[in-house]
Every structure is written in C-alpha cells, then in structure tokens.
Structure 1
Amino acid sequence: MVTSQHEGITKVATLDFGHTAQMLRALFDLPIPESGEGRLGSPDFSDAKPAVCRADGALLYGKGKEKLGVITETQRGEDKDKLYSWLEYIANFRARERCPVCLVVICPDRKIARWAAKPIETGHPGLTLTPLVIGPDNTPAITDVEEAAGNLGLAIVSAITKSDDPLYKDILGTLNKALSGIDRKLAGQYGHYINVSLTGVAQEEWGRLMAMQTYPYQGEYAESLLAEGRAEGRAEGEARLLLKLLEMRGIAVSEEVRERIAGCDDTATLEAWFQRAFTVESAEELFA
C-alpha cells in the first residue's frame, strides 16, 4: 500500500535533479554526465499490452550519447515481486532511452535496506543485479551546515534514513539551516516532503523546527500544507492538517477542541487557526 511516507521519499528523490545527482555521486560515484540538465523520465515501463510496469521515479541525465538513466524506488518492506520487476524496469528504460541505467533503492529501515541490497541472480550466467541501496548504514550523519549546503541531496537522505540516530536533532537542525540558503519555494517543498518522509520523534522534531518560523522558506512550507488541504476541495482537509500540525508540535488536543476544529466549515477561519498553530503553546489559544 502506498503511504504518505512512501510518497514523500519518492518526491524528495525526484524534486531537484541537481541535488539528487550530487547525492548519488557522493554515495555511489555514479558517472552522471556534468553536461546537459537532468530531467524527469517516464516511470512507466509497460509494453503496449502487458500488465502495468511502473517504477516510483525515473531520472535521465545528460543528452545524446552521454546519458545515464536512474530509477528510484522507495522500499519500506520486503516485496519478493520486486526481485523480478526491478530488472524489468532497468531493461525497459535502457531499451527506450538507449543508455546505461542503474537502480537506486531508498530504505529508511535498516533491515529492509539489507534485504534490498542482496544480489539478485537472474539465472543468466554473469547477469546478477545488485541494487544500489540508500539506507541508515551507508549515509553519513551530516551535522555541519556548510557540508549540508554543499550536498543538499545527501543531507536530506541523511535526515530521512537516520531518524532513529542519537544525533537526529543535530542532523535535522543542520538541514533546516541549509534549506534556508536555497530558493524559498523549492525549500518549502522539501520541507513538506521531508516531513511526511519522517516518522516518530524525528517527525515531531521537524514539525517543531518548521513551527519556529525562523527562516522565510518555512512560510512556503506552511502554504504547501494548506494547499494539500485545499486540494481535497473540502474544509475537512484543512481541519485534518491543522490537527496533524498540533500533533507534530506535541500540543495536547482535548476532545472539545478536536470537535470544534473538525466541525468548522469556514476555510478562512481554519487557515487563521492554522497560522496560529505554529506559535501557540496550547490548543485553546487557537481560538483567542
């Protein structure tokens, strides 16, 4: 089942091609062409008639004869079907673009990362697929702002895969500062997708950092959350996100407050409460 965390990690990997390229060079020394901009390839690798064959993401770097395709997959659990479909993704993308293609699997969970990194024997002599796996064991804990700003893609996957690391607060705080140095809109999008990619105390800490509104880009982050609610076309969407924000900040919500928020059908009022939710010390202060 596709979850918000799955979608978040997938979006983070395909949001900015340059940041992802930097990260992949650092982790795997991939020969990504320096010339020619990266672009989003179609993740649909189906033939005309067979069943759907679709990867989470597909990036294409370079142009002409200097091209490299990168398939990105987010894996949160073991899936034996992927041991067959991953090779199909590579073969179809390679045939379509006429270029080398590699597979990168992002696994926030250490156990799943080890499973995904195992060589896959195809049955043909000499043809063994060993996925390139990004997980807790091969991503560094980046706690230096200059280092994070120099390779933002690596800093982001560091935050996502090390959410249970003892240094998670330092890692997230460093990333927060590094994001303030790039385009506000892009940073706001990263802020949103990083939030849904995290779980537990790491997600709560990221929500706390976003709620501080220290940097201008965090306004874009707040707007992206509201836009998600509006996309549902209902006040319920904004009410749900408001309650989620309070939860992320660790603010207790009484049943009375929850009912008042859920029962509000005025989007302007909900948006005003949402903006206050970044700074209030109690849920009741929303209505002051």
Structure 2
Amino acid sequence: MTARLILAATPIGNHQDASMRLRELLETSPVIAAEDTRRLRDLATRLNITVTGRIVSYHEHNETSKADQLLDNIENGHDVLVVTDAGMPLVSDPGYRIVERAIERDITVTAVPGPSAVLTALALAGLPTDRFTFEGFLPRKPSDRRKTLAALATEPRTMVFFEATHRVDDSLADLAQAFGSQRRAALCRELTKTYEEVVRASLSDLAAQAAEGRFKGEIVLVVAGAEPTPGVSLDDAITRARLLADAGERTKDAAALVAAETGISKREIYQGLIS
C-alpha cells in the first residue's frame, strides 16, 4: 500500500474514548508527528501501549518548516501519523500546512475520525444543529473581539466558540452586548472528563456566572443563531451599523455590510450614521 499522511483524532478528556484504530496506529506507525511529545507518551501509557516509531515534535510554531521534512518520509515509503493534544488535527490545532503541502505533492491524505469537542458540545447544548458554524477562539484583543462579534450578530446558524478560562468572563460579556442579553447559549466545560458540566442559559446569565469565577477548565461555548428579522426598519439597520462602527469597522464599510444583510439602501444607512 502506498504510504500516507494520516490525521488521527485523540481523546478530548477521557482516554477510554481512544479508538482501536488510533491504538493500532500509535503502536505501528513508523513516524508520529505530535503537537506535544510528552502528552503523546502520557496517552500511550494510559492506553497501556508501546510507541515503536519515531516521534517528531510538530506544533504551531514549526509546522510550516517541518511539513516537507515529514512528507519526505512518506515519499520514502513510510506512513506519517499526525496527532494533536486533543481532538482532530486542523480544528484549532496544527495540521493545515502539512495537509496543504501533501496535496500539492500529490501525497495521499486520510483521517481516523474520533472525539471532537465541537461536535460533543453541539450534541449537549440543546440548540439547533441542522446548521452550525465553528468560529474557533475569539480574538484576545477586546476591540478585535467586539468587531468579530458585531459581524456575527445576525448569523442565523448555531455558533461554536472555544474559549480560555481566563477570558471567558470578558468574552461572555461581549457576546451578551453584541448578540443581546437573552440570546440562548450553552457553556460546556471539561467535556468527557470527571467534572464535565453543561450550563444552558441566556448569555447574560452565563456572563454573570463567569464574572464570579464560576467556570474553570477547557471551555466550549455554543450560541444560538439570530432569529429571522423580516422587515428590518431603517432605524434598526442604522443601530446595527453603529454597533459595527463602534466595534472598529469603518463607517462606510459598516453601512455596506448592513445594507447587504437587510436590502436597505447603503446611502440611507450611511447618512443615518453620520447625522
């Protein structure tokens, strides 16, 4: 069989979620590219398996420079297994650069599916899942975060965000401001772990709890999409554009974005913003 680049999902908390295919590949792959080599060895210990292949450190700071070196192994006939600390490579984790280069070099890429914090949180949130969007981590800088959220305020699909413990209070406060205090949401923390918890509430309720230091650990936020707003008035459109402008969007660009969303004249919205 032709050597391949193999992307494998690892447990997001409970090591018993490791698939039989993952266990076999960890034991037999000649080369394993790991986001954190120590965590990979710890996983192998917990799974009571022995890694026999060469382990290569492959993370966000070296993924571009090491991609071709790893792919050279495949052209020499050796499979390369890519794993991250938790979940599927490429999903807010390293992996995109090596997949991009593999496709350019006509190298076979395959995946071993498994645990996913995104899908697990969606399943538990109690919000619509027929259509959803994954937004990853929100920007760290407050002004950038608010600008991003302002642009997502009218998104009709359920949204999934990752967030760090030390920023979740600020992010929830900004979410409530941008999306409305009563927008439904779910905060999922420590998924599949001993202290797994899912808190379903309005954004304002979650923000208040977060402000008290209520939430610790690895966090996924699932937020309901915006309700349809037929017949948006000019005043509503101007308010929406002003929110974008206050978040850092140029006035003309804010007017254009809202005009595209609502069908209301860009000129009328712009005039309302500057008057």
| Pair in the same fold by TM > 0.5 | no
User: Which structure dedicates a bigger proportion of its chain to helix?
Assistant: 1
| TM-score normalised per structure 2 | 0.29
User: Which structure dedicates a bigger proportion of its chain to strand?
Assistant: 2
| TM-score normalised per structure 1 | 0.28
